């Protein structure tokens, strides 16, 4: 039987977040997740997890000004210090290895590449590494196609040629799919 985690950001909104842990347990959940736990001291969250026998299975890196429309800051110029601080904050809030082991059977059915990469925080570090690679790839693709365009080449044909070579990647393909 699959095990699901209660997303406390989305469920039980009729009560304050800290009361949602008890509601999740009462509804039969063994694990919980939330978008951003940072409005609460991690000791408060840990207390709720332990009091109700729940496992924290997921939370996100700080995303910047969520209310202002930001959905991440890794690629934003001038925000690298804030991003770096957010990574360390997310690592500090990460849960234990048992959270990964509890959810791995479900994750294996839903995803292609589910890997525990190490101790608490290493998964968040891996997410950051992925975002760095994506951001730098987008920057490189933008620069290359801008160079080609300014040199007089047709960017759409340059893209087509590059898609057949070593420069091709999922990020390259998705980022340049429209507009070039």
pLDDT tens-digit map of 155-177: 888 888 888 888 777 777 776 77
pLDDT band of residue 58 (cuts 50, 70, 90) is: confident
Q: In residues, how long is the chain?
A: 180
pLDDT of residue 152: 94
pLDDT of residue 104: 65
pLDDT of residue 61: 85
Q: pLDDT digit string (tens) for 21-41?
A: 999 999 999 989 999 999 998
- Out of 3, 104, 127, 174, pick the active-site residue: 127
Q: pLDDT digit string (tens) for 75-130?
A: 888 888 788 778 777 767 775 566 556 656 766 665 566 677 776 567 777 888 88
**Whole-angstrom Cα distance, residue 8 to residue 87?**
21
Q: pLDDT digit string (tens) for 128-154?
A: 888 888 888 888 888 888 898 999 999
Domain boundaries, the chain: 5-131, 132-180
- CATH code of the domain made up of 5-131: 3.20.20.150
Are 31 and 6 a contacting pair, CB within 8 Å? yes
Residue 104 is among the residues annotated as catalytic for this protein: no
Instruction: Tell me the whole-structure pTM to 2 decimals.
Output: 0.53
């Amino acid at each position: 039987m699959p095990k699901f985690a209660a997303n406390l950001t989305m469920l039980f909104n009729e009560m304050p977040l800290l009361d949602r842990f008890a509601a999740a347990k009462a509804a039969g959940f063994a694990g919980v997740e939330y978008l951003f736990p940072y409005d609460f001291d991690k000791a408060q969250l840990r207390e709720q997890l332990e009091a109700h026998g729940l496992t924290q299975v997921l939370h996100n890196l700080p995303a910047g000004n969520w209310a202002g429309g930001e959905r991440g800051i890794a690629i934003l110029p001038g925000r690298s210090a804030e991003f770096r601080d957010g990574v360390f904050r997310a690592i500090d809030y990460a849960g234990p290895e048992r959270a990964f082991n509890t959810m791995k059977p479900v994750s294996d059915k839903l995803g292609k590449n589910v890997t525990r990469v190490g101790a608490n925080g290493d998964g968040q570090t891996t997410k950051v590494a992925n975002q760095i690679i994506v951001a730098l790839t987008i920057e490189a693709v933008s620069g290359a196609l801008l160079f080609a365009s300014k040199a007089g080449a047709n960017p759409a044909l340059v893209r087509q040629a590059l898609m057949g070579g070593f420069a091709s990647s999922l990020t390259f393909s998705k980022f340049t799919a429209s507009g070039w």
